[in-house]
Amino acid sequence: MARYGMVMNVKTCLGCKACMAACSQWNQTPFWAEEGGKWRTRVTELEDGKFPEVKRKFFPTICMHCENAGCQSVCPTGATFTNKDGIVLIDYDLCLGCGYCIEACPYDARYEYEKEDLEKDEFYFGEDARHHQVHVDKCTFCVDRLEEGMEPSCAATCVGHARIFGDLDDPNSEIAKLVNSGEAKPLGEYLATKPKVYYIK
């Protein structure tokens, strides 16, 4: 049993979006979709400060794997659940496709994997296609990679060491130190969702 989390270091994120590419390849997320695709992780460009001292920043986001997850609490079928390692997951076989969780997530982490996406998934990945039914989709911390002893694909590819993945319950881990020292903070604490993704800004 672990309590997995991630620290995003906005200071070192280069904005290369290698994480988005790696995630979308590993998890076969609809990068083909209209209006810029559907992603489990995004890197948003922000402008910080006032003219003339404007600084560009890159802001990576994923599902925050909330301890008090709005998505899970509205899910009627129990398709959305938290596994023993604190990862919020979706059982595709149970997903009704009602979209209630998309509305309930205050971090815009979820999207619909629709029929067209299934067709495209098969078109691009052929026999290796991983999505076979419509469902709602989001970041899983690459739970399948964790089982194989690998890091989530975004953290594994990150050039700027902006994504630090680990067990929040292990006081010696890099992530626990950053979080326990107060250097990394969750987003939108007022929402009382208790996210397990933290930010160094």
Partner 1 sequence: MDLVQQHTWGWFIAIYLFFGGLGGATMALGILGELRFNKGKWFGIGVTVLGMAILSFGLLFLVLDLIDPFRFLLAFWIKGIGHSWIARGMVVIMGAYIFGVLYMVAAFFESTTFKKWMGYLAMFCGFGVTTYTGLLLNANVGIPFWHTPALPVLFTVSAFSTGCAILMWVLAGKNDHESEHFFHAIESFDIFLISLELLILFAYFDFARGGNLAVVKSAHLLLGNPIFTIGFLIFGLIMPLILEAYASMKENSRGLAVFASGLVLLGGFLLRYLIVWAGVFQYPHGLAG
- Closer residue to ligand SF4, CB minimum distance, 90 or 164: 90
In degrees, to the nearest 5, what angle opens at C-alpha 77 toward C-alphas 79 and 68?
Answer: 65
Considering only CA atoms, which of 176, 170, 153, 150 is closest in space to residue 41? 153
Which of partner 1, ligand SF4, none interacts with 163 (beta carbon under 5 to 8 A by kind)?
A: none
Considering only 99, 125, 130, 144, the residue that binds partner 1 (CB under 8 A) is 99
Site string for ligand SF4, 40-69 (x = CB under 6 A): -----------------------xxxx--x
Q: Per CB under 8 A, does 16 bind partner 1? A: no
Considering only 11, 14, 49, 73, the residue that binds partner 1 (CB under 8 A) is 73
**Residue 59 one-letter amino acid:** F
Q: Per CB under 8 A, does 49 bind partner 1? A: no
Alpha-carbon torsion (115, 44, 109, 158), positive or negative: positive
Considering only 97, 118, 183, 186, the residue that binds ligand SF4 (CB under 6 A) is 97
Considering only 17, 40, 110, 131, the residue that binds ligand SF4 (CB under 6 A) is 110
- Sequence-ordered alpha helix ranges (H) in 41-114: 70-74, 100-104
Alpha-carbon torsion (144, 142, 118, 20), positive or negative: negative
Q: Per CB under 8 A, does 200 bind partner 1? A: no
- Closer residue to partner 1, CB minimum distance, 145 or 185: 185
- Is 197 buried (19+), middle (13-18) or exposed (0-12) by CB count in 10 A? buried
Helix and strand tally (H, E) in the chain? 7, 10
Candidates 18-26, 101-109, 138-146, 147-155 — which segment interacts with partner 1 by CB under 8 A? 101-109
- Whether the CB-CB separation of 50 and 1 falls below 8 Å is answered with no
**Residue 182 one-letter amino acid:** G
The contact set with partner 1 (CB under 8 A) reads 42, 44, 46, 59, 61, 70, 72-78, 94-100, 102-108, 112-115, 133-136, 187-188, 191-193
